[in-house]
């Protein structure tokens, strides 16, 4: 194995990892293969992104053809056909009146883009005082300065200085006393959306640009919105002219058994961020959808003026567009979003069988997502779940953990026997752990 020193790994305990590495060398459909030639069942779709399963031939072929035909085209003041084709398909795919899409290269960039569009939108409409942003405790919106500012994860923020000014946070909705072992949306907690009223009262709506939330928070441990919560956020934003942004980097592209969470919950925000599943994780790409009227508001400048001073060298990269188009074909042809919806009932029953398993204090689920919360070891938060993660890996299953919560989010091509296997391995590991 190559010397590992030079690579500073992201969101990784580098020294611990390099002392005892976990190396994946190939992948196909539902499985990875490790460097010691073991088959590892993918319980997380990579990092919530490989929704159609690994190593899909049509995506590989589309990428190859695109590189040979047009490997790159400048993104500014120039265009290429695949970007326009993809944009049109995406705005047709997402329900609601989203009529434009801006391309980025990651979820983090989508978030930065969405926040900037929100603030600039108010300004071009003559409401330039609307600059404040509202996020949520335990929100994850990537790692840009905007994203960590509106995000609500202490360790992601505390090393990085003063962050954006003018940011407030709603409380999160997670509460085991009221909602432990809920199936799908919990009953309790919609009233927490009313905290937005208090923030508006403090700053006045004329100073507030946008509220950003994950409709279902994944990275901070699968926090499922209480019944009525998103509806209330929508109503309050409407009342005060505040833009509502859904960060759908995880929930987009079928994860909940619908195209996007906005479809699943029937609540339509003003801006939607996406990434991950857009290319099935093959080529980095992100997208920001804006509802009708937002793009138009920027179009009052002289026709030769650039309307939005924002973009990336690789916005709408031809290879990413080709991968995304091939990915959308698979989602459509294999009806993977509907498949996820059909499989969600079996998944729900399977994951709720963890109730009563050693160390488990909560199970929550929606679509093909599950969170299994473990009781923390006193004085060692996160250790129990991390030990569980390494043992599962040794036993042929990839899970993801955050704190002492296990998050499961398998590829949408999952079969019942894979679900049974996830339950079998994880139960065995948990029962055997101190
Ligand atoms: N937003 C949400 C809701 C996410 O879950 C993530 C990543 O998990 C991001 C943003 C950041 O995406 P990326 O890692 O592609 O920058």
**Distance in angstroms (rounded) separating the CA atoms of residues 105 and 99:** 20
**Distance in angstroms (rounded) separating the CA atoms of residues 259 and 114:** 20
Please check the confidence at residue 75 and state whether its pLDDT lies above 90.
yes
Domain of residue 249, residue span: 60-334
Residue 191 placed within a domain: yes
Q: How far is the CA of 140 from the centre of ligand 1 (A)?
A: 7
Q: What is the pLDDT of residues 216-248, one digit of tens each?
A: 999 999 999 999 999 999 999 999 999 999 999
| Residue 247 alpha carbon, nearest atom of ligand 1 | 3
- 235 and 260 assigned to the same domain: yes
**Distance in angstroms (rounded) separating the CA atoms of residues 422 and 31:** 12
Nearest to residue 270, comparing CAs of 301, 306, 234, 307?
234
The residue out of 334, 365, 391 marking a domain boundary is 334
**Do 216 and 256 form a contact (C-beta atoms < 8 A)?**
yes
| Residue 251 alpha carbon, nearest atom of ligand 1 | 3
Q: Tell the residue nearest (CA) to atom 1 of ligand 1.
A: 141
Cβ neighbours of residue 115 under 8 Å, at least 6 residues apart?
133, 146, 147, 150, 210, 212, 245
- 194 and 240 assigned to the same domain: yes
**Distance in angstroms (rounded) separating the CA atoms of residues 283 and 277:** 10
State ipTM: 0.99
Q: What is the CA radius of gyration of the chain?
A: 21
Residue 322 placed within a domain: yes
Angle, in degrees to the nearest 10, between helices 336-351 and 416-431: 30
Angle, in degrees to the nearest 10, between helices 57-69 and 318-333: 150
- 47 and 67 assigned to the same domain: no
Q: What is the pLDDT of residues 51-65, one digit of tens each?
A: 999 999 999 999 999
The pair of three-digit structure tokens given for residue 45, joined into one six-digit string:
């779709």
Residue 395 placed within a domain: yes
CA-to-CA separations, 265 to 227, 262, 404, in angstroms, rounded: 9, 5, 27
- 246 and 143 assigned to the same domain: yes
**Do 246 and 222 form a contact (C-beta atoms < 8 A)?**
no
Q: How far is the CA of 186 from the centre of ligand 1 (A)?
A: 24
Q: What is the pLDDT of residues 368-405, one digit of tens each?
A: 999 999 999 999 999 999 999 999 999 999 999 999 99
Max Cα distance, the chain (Å)? 68
Q: What is the pLDDT of residues 16-31, one digit of tens each?
A: 999 999 999 999 999 9
Average pLDDT over residues 337-353: 98
Give the domain CATH number at 376.
3.90.1150.10
Residue 7 placed within a domain: no
What is the phi/psi pair of residue 165, to 5°? Answer: -90, 165
Q: CA dihedral in degrees (176, 181, 184, 185; nearest 10)?
A: -30
pLDDT at 365: 98
**Do 215 and 252 form a contact (C-beta atoms < 8 A)?**
no
| Residue 110 alpha carbon, nearest atom of ligand 1 | 10
Q: What is the pLDDT of residues 26-50, one digit of tens each?
A: 999 999 999 999 999 999 999 999 9
Residue 120 placed within a domain: yes
Confidence at 2, pLDDT banded by 50, 70, 90: confident
Q: How far is the CA of 300 from the centre of ligand 1 (A)?
A: 33
Confidence at 183, pLDDT banded by 50, 70, 90: very high
- 232 and 352 assigned to the same domain: no
DSSP string over 8-76: --TTS-HHHHHHS---EEEEEBTEEEETTS-EEEESSHHHHT-TT-B--HHHHHHHHHHHHH-S---SS
The residue out of 279, 302, 334 marking a domain boundary is 334
Q: Tell the residue nearest (CA) to atom 8 of ligand 1.
A: 219
Q: Tell the residue nearest (CA) to atom 12 of ligand 1.
A: 107
Q: CA dihedral in degrees (372, 245, 98, 263; nearest 10)?
A: 30
**Distance in angstroms (rounded) separating the CA atoms of residues 325 and 329:** 6
- 203 and 262 assigned to the same domain: yes
Q: How far is the CA of 36 from the centre of ligand 1 (A)?
A: 30
Residue 8 placed within a domain: no
Nearest to residue 283, comparing CAs of 81, 41, 86?
86
Residue 4 placed within a domain: no
CA-to-CA separations, 246 to 160, 211, 212, 219, 267, in angstroms, rounded: 25, 9, 6, 15, 10
153-190 as b/e: b if 16+ CB within 10 A? beebeeeeeeebeebbbbebbbeeeebebbeebbeebb
| Residue 219 alpha carbon, nearest atom of ligand 1 | 5
- 105 and 223 assigned to the same domain: yes
Pocket of ligand 1, beta carbon within 6 A: 106-108, 111, 140-142, 214, 218-219, 247, 249-250, 275
Domain count, the chain: 2
pTM value? Answer: 0.98
Q: What is the pLDDT of residues 77-135, one digit of tens each?
A: 999 999 999 999 999 999 999 999 999 999 999 999 999 999 999 999 999 999 999 99
The residue out of 316, 334, 352 marking a domain boundary is 334
DSSP string over 99-164: EEEEEESSHHHHHHHHHHHHHHHHHHTT-TT--EEEEETT----SSHHHHHHS--HHHHTTSTT--
From 141, 221, 249, the mutation candidate for ligand 1 (largest count of ligand atoms within 8 A of CB) is 249
- 162 and 239 assigned to the same domain: yes
**Distance in angstroms (rounded) separating the CA atoms of residues 134 and 113:** 15
Q: What is the pLDDT of residues 295-324, one digit of tens each?
A: 999 999 899 999 999 999 999 999 999 999
**Do 278 and 331 form a contact (C-beta atoms < 8 A)?**
no
Q: How far is the CA of 218 from the centre of ligand 1 (A)?
A: 9
Q: How far is the CA of 111 from the centre of ligand 1 (A)?
A: 8
Residue 34 placed within a domain: yes
Q: How far is the CA of 141 from the centre of ligand 1 (A)?
A: 6
From 269, 276, 281, the mutation candidate for ligand 1 (largest count of ligand atoms within 8 A of CB) is 276
| Residue 214 alpha carbon, nearest atom of ligand 1 | 3
**Do 170 and 135 form a contact (C-beta atoms < 8 A)?**
yes
Please check the confidence at residue 1 and state whether its pLDDT lies above 80.
no
Q: How far is the CA of 142 from the centre of ligand 1 (A)?
A: 5
Instruction: Tell me the H-state helices in 151-272.
Output: 154-157, 176-179, 195-203, 229-240, 261-265
Average pLDDT over residues 164-179: 97
- 136 and 146 assigned to the same domain: yes
Q: How far is the CA of 276 from the centre of ligand 1 (A)?
A: 8
């Amino acid at each position: 194995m190559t010397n590992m020193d030079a690579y500073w790994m992201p969101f990784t305990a580098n020294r611990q990892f390099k002392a005892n590495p976990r190396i994946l060398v190939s992948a196909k459909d539902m499985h990875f293969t490790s460097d010691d030639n073991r088959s590892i069942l993918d319980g997380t779709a990579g990092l919530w992104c490989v929704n159609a399963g690994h190593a899909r031939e049509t995506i590989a072929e589309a990428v190859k053809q695109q590189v040979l035909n047009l490997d790159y085209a400048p993104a500014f003041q120039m265009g290429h056909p695949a970007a326009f084709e993809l944009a049109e398909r995406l705005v047709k795919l997402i329900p609601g009146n989203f009529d434009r899409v801006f391309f980025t290269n990651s979820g983090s960039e989508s978030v930065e883009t969405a926040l900037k569009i929100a603030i600039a939108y108010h300004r071009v409409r003559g409401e330039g005082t609307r600059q404040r942003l509202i996020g949520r405790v335990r929100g994850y919106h990537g790692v840009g300065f905007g994203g960590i500012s509106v995000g609500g994860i202490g360790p992601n923020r505390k090393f990085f200085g003063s962050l954006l000014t003018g940011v407030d946070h709603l409380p999160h909705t997670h509460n085991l006393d009221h909602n432990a072992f809920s199936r799908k949306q919990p009953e309790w907690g919609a009233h927490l959306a009313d905290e937005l009223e208090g923030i508006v009262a403090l700053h006045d709506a004329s100073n507030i640009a946008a509220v950003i939330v994950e409709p279902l928070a994944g990275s901070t441990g699968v926090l499922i919105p209480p019944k009525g919560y998103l509806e209330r956020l929508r109503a309050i934003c409407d009342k005060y002219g505040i833009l509502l942004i859904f960060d759908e980097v995880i929930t987009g592209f079928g994860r909940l058994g619908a195209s996007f969470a906005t479809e699943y919950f029937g609540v339509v925000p003003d801006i939607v961020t996406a990434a991950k599943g857009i290319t099935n994780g093959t080529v980095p790409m992100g997208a920001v959808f804006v509802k009708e009227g937002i793009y138009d508001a920027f179009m009052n400048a002289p026709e030769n003026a650039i309307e939005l001073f924002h973009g990336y060298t690789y916005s709408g990269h031809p290879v990413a567009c080709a991968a995304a188009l091939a990915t959308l074909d698979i989602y459509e042809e294999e009806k993977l979003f509907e498949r996820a919806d059909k499989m969600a009932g079996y998944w729900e029953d399977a994951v709720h069988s963890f109730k009563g398993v050693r160390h488990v204090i909560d199970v929550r689920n929606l679509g093909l997502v599950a969170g299994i919360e473990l009781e923390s070891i006193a004085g060692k938060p996160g250790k129990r779940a991390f030990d569980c993660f390494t043992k599962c890996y040794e036993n042929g299953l990839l899970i993801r953990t955050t704190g002492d919560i296990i998050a499961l989010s398998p590829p949408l091509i999952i079969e019942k026997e894979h679900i049974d296997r996830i339950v079998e391995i994880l139960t065995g590991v948990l029962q055997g752990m101190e």
